[in-house]
Structure formats: C-alpha cells, structure tokens
Amino acid sequence: MGANKKKSEDPLRIKIGGIESRQKKPLNRVTTTKYTWLTFLPLNFYEQFRRAVYFYFLIITIISFFVNETISPLVSLLPLLFVMIITALKEGLEDLSRSKSDKLVNTAKVTVIRNGKEEVINSQFIVPGDLVVVRNEGDVPCDLVLLQSSSADRKCFVTTANLDGETNLKTISVPPNYILSSEDGLEGKDCIVCEPSTFDLYSFNGRVELNSRIEARGVGGAGEALPLTIENLLLRGVRVKGTERVVGCAIYTGMHTKLQLNSRYTGNKSASSEKYINRFMVALIVGMIVVVVVLYLIERHKEAKVVPTMPFLGPPSNFNSAWQIFEDFLSFLLLFNYMVPISAYMNIELYRIFGMHFMHNDLHLYDEETDQPCRVNASNLNEELGQVNILFSDKTGTLTKNLMKFVNCYVSDKNFQLQNTHLLCEATGEQFELEKLDSEAIIFFEALAVCHTVEVLHEVGEKPLESPESVSERSHLMGRKIVDRYQATSPDEKALLEGCASLGLVYEGQDNDILRICQYPSVEKLQFERLHVLEFSSERQRMSVILRDQSGTIWLYSKGAESAIFPRCKLSPRVEQTDSQITKYAQKGLRTMALARRTLTEEELANFDVLYRKANTQLSNRNELIAECYETVEIDLNLLGATALEDALQENVGETLEALQTAGLKIWVLTGDKVETAYNIGLACRHIPPGSKQHFIVNVTEPAELLSRLKEIEGDNPEVLVVDGITITALLKHTPRQFADLALHCRAVLCCRLSPLQKSEIVTLIKRRKKHITAAIGDGANDVSMIQEAHIGIGITGREGKQAARCADFAIARFEMLRRLFLVHGHYNSHRLAFLVLFYCYKNIIITGCMALFQVYDLFSATNVYNSLYLWLFDIVYISFSFTYLAISDKDYSEETLLRHPELYKPLAHNRQASMKVFCLWMLNGFVQCFIIFYFTYLVLNDENVLFNGGQTASFQTFGTMLITIIVIVGNLKLLLVARYMTYLNIFMIFASIAAFMLTTYLYNLDTSGELYDVYNQFITSFPLWLFTIVCSAACLLPDFIIKVVNDMFRKVPPDSKTGV
C-alpha cells in the first residue's frame, strides 16, 4: 500500500509531441456508465440485495420452495421480481443514456499534430504528449498545457461556463519565453514535468524542462526549466474565445482530467425520514416475529393435545423432530412475511421521482432571465426540505446580487462620492473633474486603473481600436463599448475600472504585458510594463502587481481588505483616518477595499525574480513558497486611499428571511465581509430584526475571556449574535460546545471575516448536535465545502458561476425561491412521504391481521385464508395505484396558504407527522378494522352459510374472497376520508382500483382448473353478499368518518385556506 501510494504521488513526465510508447499511455476515453452488457445484471442485483429487506425476501422466497405448501412461493417471488425489475429497468435506461452521451464525446473529431503533420482523429485516441489544435469557439477535449497561440500576445481567452458556470472570460498564457518548435514532433523534444491530476480546478504545478536545442531558439541553456501554473492550463470543458488557433500539449486525458475528477460523487447523504422508515420496518418485523412465535407455540400445543383426538386428520406427525420444528416455524414465517412491505421502497422512489419532477417544472422556481429551472441532484432528500430548522447562508451573491457599483472613495484625506463623470466631496459639496484633482488623487485612480487582471475582449479578426485625437473621441470610445468588453475574474475589479472610465481614465487593454491607459479630456497616453502579478487568494485577501512606468521606475501596487493592507503599510496618521472612513462605509453596508503602493529597486526586483522563479518551479509546497516570496516585497507600503462598492440586495430577500424565521428557522449568515458591512446588510435585509437584543463578540481570543463573555450573553436572553473570524477560530478551538449552545438560542447569528474552511467547520459543529437539520445556501466556489457539509446543500446559479449549484443537492436561481422551496415543496414532500409510509404499513396490517385471526379456526395450521392471486395483485393493482397517486398529489393546505402562513411549516419539524405515536394509531386503526372485517364475515358464514341464489353453501374460497373484497373496498374508500386534496382523478383511481379487483377476480374465476372456479360468479349474483359488503364496509369506515368530523371541527385552519376538490 505504501509503495503504491508513493508511486501515485510521483510527478508525471510527458514528452511534448512524442509518439513512442503511445500504446501504453492512457487514452482520452470518458466512461461515466456503471455497467457493461455483461456486468449489468450481476452488479445491479448485487446492489439491490445489499438492502436488508430485499435480501430478507430473497431468503424467504428460497425457503418457500422447500417447506410445505402453506403459501405459494410466487407470493414472495413475484413482488420481489417486480420491484427489482422496475428498479433495474430504471437504472439500465439511465446508464444507457450515459453510454450514448459518452459515445458522442469520445467520437468527436479533433486535430492533433503528429510527426509534424496535422491529423484528424477521434477525441478518445488522444494520449498524453499529443499536440492538440483547438480553434476559435472550439471545446478543449482534454487538459492541455498551452504552448502556442495565434494571438500576438501569446495568450488566449476561454470561457469556463461548462466547467464552473462562470460566464466571464479568463486568460490562458503560453509559458514565458517558450517557443514551440517545428522539431517537437521528433526525438529530443522538451518535457513537461507536473503533478498527478487532482480535482482542484484552481491549482496546477509543473514545469517545462528544455533540451539542448533551446539555445538555438534564444530561450536559454540546456536543462533550464520554465514554470507552469494554472494560468498555462487549458482544462477539458472550456471553450476557446477570441483566438483563431491554439496548440496545447495533452497532459491529463480521459477519466484523469480535472473535469472528470470533479464529476465524481463526493459523498452520500441520507434523509432523516430513513430513520422513521427503518423504525417502522423494525416494528413490523418484531411484530411479525412475535405473532409467528406465539402462533407456533400454540400450534405445538394443538399438535400434542388436540390432533391425536381427531383420528380423521390422519396419524399425528413427529412434531418434535428438528425438520418438523424448522418447517412448522418457517411456514408461519412465510405466511406473515407479507406484513413487511417490500414494495414500499419502489413506491417511495416513485414518489421522489415525481417530487423532483414537480420542483423542476414549477414555474415559480424558474428564472426566465437566466433560463434556470430548479434542479434536483439528490431526490432522496426531497422530504428533508420540510425538516430544516437551521439555515446557513452566504451573503455576497446569495443575499446580495454580486453586481458591484463604485460609489465612494477616500483619498487625499477627503471622502468623495462618484456621480456619473465627476466626484462630489461630501464635506464641502464641491464637484471635481478628474483633471482638477491633486496629484495624489490622480495617482490613486491611476493605481486603480493598473492594479488588476482585467482583459479587454477583441473578437477574432477585429482591428485594434484607433487612438482618438480629440475630446469628442471620448464618446466614440465609449460608443465602441470598450468598457462592456472588460473581462474580469472579480466583479469588484470590473466595477472599479468602470468607475475610473466614467471619470475619464480608461483602461484600453494590454499587449505583451504593456498596459495602456488613456486620460480624458487631455487624451494623455500612459503605458506601464507589467512585470509580475501577485495573485489574489482568500487566504491573502489581497492582490498586487509589479509595474515599470514610462520613466523606468518600478512600482508595486497592492489592493485588498484593509485587514490585509494596513499591517503592511508604514505607520502614519492616514492609516487611522482611512480606517475610520472605511468603518463609516461599512456601516452603510458597502464593500470596502484599501489601496497602497511602494517603489522597488532593481536589486529588490532581481532578488524577487530569483525567489519567485525558484518557488514557481517546485512541484510540492509551491503555494506556500510563493506566498513567502510575496511577503518579501509586500512591505513598507504607502497607503493611497480606500474604495467603497455597493452590492444591491436580491429581490424580496427581506420578505424571504422574515417568512423563514416565522416558519421556525434560525438563520446564520456566514460571510467573508467585515463586521460593519455584514451587520448593516443584515439590518437592511431583515436578517437582524429591528429592536432585537444584539450581542457582539469581536477580536476576543483568550479562552477565559471567551467563556466569561458567553456566560454573560447567555444570561441576557440574546436574539442576535455577531462574531468575527478571529473570535470564531478561538471559539471553535477552546469553547465549541458553549458557543453552539448560546448560538442555538439566538434567532439570528452573523459570522464575519470567515474563510471557506471556517464556514464548513461551523456547519459541522451544529450538525453534530444531532437534534437539528441543517441547510446551507451559497453561490460561489468558496461555499462548496459548507454546502456539502450540511444535511441539505442548496446552490444558487449566480454571477460567481455554477460550481456551488453543481455540487449542491438542489439548485435555484435566486434566494427568494428558497421560500417556496421550503414552505411549499418541503411541506408537501414531508407530508406526502409520511402518509405514504403509514398507509403502506396500515394496509399490510389489515390483510395479515385477518390471516392471523383465521389461525384460531384452522388448528393453527399456517393455512392461507386467501387465494394466492389476491396476494399477488393486492400490492400491485388492488390498492397500490390509488393510494400512491394520492400520496404523490395530496395537499393538506393550498400553496397560497402555505406561503401566507409560514408558521404551518413548524408542525413538520422532527418528523412529527411520522412519530411512533402516529404510527401506533394507524396500526390500531388497522387492527380494529381487520377485527371488524374478519368477524363480520365469520358471523355471516358461521350458522347459516346458504348465501347463493341456487341454495349452495359458501366454500372456503368464498370466505377468502369475502375478506379480500372488504379489505380492497375499505382500503380504497379510506383514502376519501384521509385525503385533504381530492381531485376527480383521485376519485377515478380509487374506483378504478376496486373495479380492477372485480375484473381480475371475475376473469380468474372463469378458469375451470383454478381454485376460484365459479366462486365469483356466485358471489356477484348473491344479494346477501352484496348487502354484507355494504354493511361491513360502512361499519369499518364509520369510526374513521367520526374521527375525521371531530378533527375537522377542532382543526385550526388559517384564514384563506383552501383544500378542495
């Protein structure tokens, strides 16, 4: 194991363009199917028999072939086969669909360069080392290292909508100074050394090792290595945009691509309903075993004391022999195994499929703007939507739109408000054009215009923008919509550049890392050479660029969260003043950012280059080494100022949060924003109720102080708790239990400045309390860990992409849809499943209860009172369709009522509708009805059993037919009493089920060789039996009717409630 693990961690060495040993390399074949034609039946049946109930019925079926003929083996075999065949058919069709999709992908035509010539092959035949050609608007077939681009700047744009759903373009670059030679199809080629493929879409470590022929290219000496990062990697699933032709070297193919690694199932979640279903099944099995044991002991007593006194029964058997004991016990077990409803699992799956269909096709959960319906990725959690009591929510992009607008800035010790094309000084009321600002303010805006990674998209074949020559050209420039073509990885960066452009400082793009800025109305051209980009990360909370201006001065510009920028700035009064202004911005709910810069000497730049190059060629710990390298230059910064961006709230977010709180949900907002910003957004969206008792725990890390603070707050009956990231770290480490106890008493909790890992840890902390069902909702990749950790993960297909939606159990387009998802679909799904399971158990109790009562009158001989036909069709035809359809469609309240009265969600909590108390009441109802049915029938036949028109007496088969007739009628008509939402189709299904019973029985009774021959003909022509059927059915349903009337009299129905036909 250790050797294998070590081997799997060895770096990959791939020769560029090589063809040797191609047969031994992994192909680019994608396989998402679970089965092949040979493995389908054995694997599928194996997976099904892993269910304990299925395996139990298999054993019972096998045994039934070897014991006496108490009951036909087909009674166990047919339902088992029916359920398994339906399940296998469903999975087989799904797998066939996946197979067809795989074939389309694997046979797509691609162009590769082999031996210096282009060849067109099927995508599945690409191997690592192949040079793959991708043209504009083409999809990348596997993971490629970009080695050549038709663009002059040796870059290409890609859209990753198929990968993570993000619609903005990203830039992929050829490794610095690398030139793809025409000789790369021959021996002695360059080699790519990289880490084995991982599921992380946002990291890649590797290097290109150059051979001796590189000297001829003017790149460097033999053995030199060029670093490879994620910026050089074209991932499978991305689409090339704005570039006529690119060439890349295949490194990860087929199932080893990052896309396929992310497509695999990451975990298994089970609904809390599984607990009560299992509990009911165990109760039925225990009940069945008790009945079997009691009946078997009585049967032994009869064998010993009664049977010898009845010589007409023949010689008594040796009831003490091992085989006889085994056979007698199993005879009872076979007779009553019908008490365990195996087909319930099939009906539950059917209910879940329809529940998924209802959510997917709900127009109220469809967003026309993005063409996004509700998507269900885990239908086994449908009913869990009705059980949530803790909701964890991201803020940016979830409660807000993540659509940024540059509204304020603080520079030159003044607070400015951006108004169209000028700045308003809020202190003096003066208005300033860009050219009228002092030099310090102009430097600030120049810094905003260059400290970013935004690209300007040019369509293929489009000519570069000509330089304007006058002030009037400004409108021409904006008319060309250059700003609309900004492609940014962050909406913050795009908003800042749009703000600068509105003031007249327009970023025009870059060519070969030469950034071009144009200032209006002077039409002054500025150029900066970009030397390095120090990437942003959630851990660093900042990004920097190193530039050389036109005078040759080297500058480092850095922007990010004030908590990351201020500690790296020189001490000055400006830091305190800016921090004070940032706090004011945050109190308005604005997103803030600080900006600073410093100069670098040539020597400092050279030292940084050496450290960065060394760190960037390492395959292990590369990120940590690069972060250490960044720290060497991001020091002694001069603070320039701060910006404030506005992020508008999502539509109806306040109403949604209020409704969910009224429904009993406690809402936690987990965000990376600073406390003041998040707090004011919380007030604006009504997450924090006005006038509530609010408590803050900020910047507290000492365990003793934390414990004291928690106890102090707990004694004040808190309603709102606000905590920051530093404190959360200490709380999770030192006092997790006390923190959870306190937080769970609050209506709302706000946690700020959190990392993605901290979000997940908080969810885990609450999830482990067992008493709460948690849901997490977010829209970004940083929310994935939180979404996957919660009992229910809900993704929003937002501006940060679809990665959260792809990894979630449910996906919606807007936060406001959560209200309907929980209050309507969650309510209905919980109510319907509880009814489905309870009714299943009830109907099985009726039919097996009559069999148990019959044993009293057949010397406990384990004789089946019903004809085998009835047992075969009872679960499948006689009653299953009618009550399953009702379970799928029933509504205890109308949709409008559930939305108007969120408090109706509360009674569902902790599966109260399927508690053991409710289960026992249903079982009691089943026992009462089976007693009524059996003894009504027994009394009718006991003395005078001449019931037929011809004067014949009723036979044993007539007795069983009378019982099953009442059971089918009562079971179906009971649905009329328990249903809250009855449609004409429901009524039709009920009476169609009764008619199906009568038709199948009539047809079977025509078979001259059958046990029921002519029995039903006589039954349906007998007036006494029709009268018996009516009276017995009414007697069974009368108690239910009275209970329904009483319940409806005392049922609290909200105003405007509608549940009708």
- Provide the 8-state DSSP code for 953: B
The candidate with the shortest Cα–Cα distance to 498, out of 409, 404, 623, is 404
Report the distance separating Cα 263 and Cα 365, nearest Å. 25
Query: End-to-end CA distance of the chain, in Å?
Result: 65
φ and ψ of 145, to 5 deg: -90, 120
φ and ψ of 883, to 5 deg: -80, -25
CB-based contact 953:1024 (threshold 8 Å)? no
CB-based contact 121:110 (threshold 8 Å)? yes
Cis amide leading into 373 (omega within 30): no
Tell me the two tokens of residue 26: 């992994």
CB-based contact 351:888 (threshold 8 Å)? yes
Report the distance separating Cα 909 and Cα 892, nearest Å. 16
Strands 375-376 and 810-812, sheet pairing: antiparallel
Q: At what angle do helices 344-360 and 880-889 cross, to 10 degrees?
A: 30
Tell me the two tokens of residue 922: 């249903």
- Provide the 8-state DSSP code for 460: T
Report the distance separating Cα 229 and Cα 751, nearest Å. 34
Report the distance separating Cα 880 and Cα 885, nearest Å. 8
Active site residue 394: yes
Report the distance separating Cα 249 and Cα 142, nearest Å. 9
The candidate with the shortest Cα–Cα distance to 686, out of 656, 722, 665, 717, is 656
Report the distance separating Cα 612 and Cα 533, nearest Å. 11
CB-based contact 258:235 (threshold 8 Å)? yes
Report the distance separating Cα 1035 and Cα 973, nearest Å. 12
Report the distance separating Cα 1034 and Cα 287, nearest Å. 28
Tell me the CB-side half-sphere exposure of residue 555, using CA atoms within 13 A: 20
Tell me the two tokens of residue 850: 């009559």
- Provide the 8-state DSSP code for 185: G
Per-residue burial over 745-773, b = 16 or more CB atoms within 10 Å of its CB, e = otherwise? ebbbbbbbbbbbebbbbbbbbbbeeeebb
Report the distance separating Cα 769 and Cα 869, nearest Å. 50
Report the distance separating Cα 343 and Cα 301, nearest Å. 35
Write the DSSP string, 665-727. -EEEEE-SS-HHHHHHHHHHTTSS-TT--EEEE-S---HHHHHHHHHHHHTT--SEEEEEHHH
CB-based contact 452:558 (threshold 8 Å)? no
Strands 666-670 and 638-649, sheet pairing: unpaired
Position 856, amino acid:
V
Report the distance separating Cα 161 and Cα 1031, nearest Å. 67
State CA 482 to chain mean position distance: 37
Please identify which of the residues 130, 190, 394, 647 carries the catalytic annotation: 394
Helical segments of 874-983, H only: 880-889, 895-900, 916-942, 956-978
- Provide the 8-state DSSP code for 855: G
CB-based contact 542:557 (threshold 8 Å)? no
- Provide the 8-state DSSP code for 801: B
What residues are labeled active site?
A: 394
